[in-house]
Amino acid sequence: MVAPRALVERFLQSVTAPDPGDLADCFADRVVIEMPFAPPGLVPSRLEATREELRARYAAGASVRRYTEVTDASIHETADPSTVIVEFSVRGTMLATEEEFALRFVMVMTIRDGQIAHTRDYADPIAGARALGRLPELVASLSG
């Protein structure tokens, strides 16, 4: 079985892997992803998915953007060995426009049986909407 820290290191390496399926392989057969700062209507604040659904989701994302670099990664092990907190930045390029972007994340991961079973993802919704060209939708969701 993979140790939690080693799994998180593999996760970070997989973010920029050519095959988005590498990232999906870090997750359990069934996973819960919570995004407390998700803008209403733009992305779900909670997603329950299978690994294969994540694989398809990551492949769809890779058809519009390419993550090119993970920087400023810090892995924080907690008193609970199944909980790991990871902070990192991702640089990437939007494929249609070749516009570069940078996103910062903090993820609280729950690891069971050597795979990520649950995450709480904290990211800047403004930077995410800007990178995806969805800033007008973000503004509309805030005023509606």
Q: How confident is the model at residue 47 (pLDDT cuts 50, 70, 90)?
A: very high
- The mean per-residue pLDDT over the stretch 18-47 comes to 92
pLDDT tens for residues 115-139?
999 999 999 888 888 887 888 888 8
pTM: predicted TM-score of the whole model, two decimal places: 0.92
Cβ-based neighbours of 54, under 8 Å, separated by 6 or more? 23, 24, 27, 31
Instruction: Return the CATH fold of 4-143.
Output: Nuclear Transport Factor 2; Chain: A, (3.10.450)
pLDDT tens for residues 54-95?
999 999 999 999 999 999 999 999 999 999 999 999 999 999
- The reported pLDDT for the residue numbered 46 is 96
Domain boundaries, the chain: 4-143
Alpha-carbon torsion (113, 84, 87, 33), positive or negative: positive
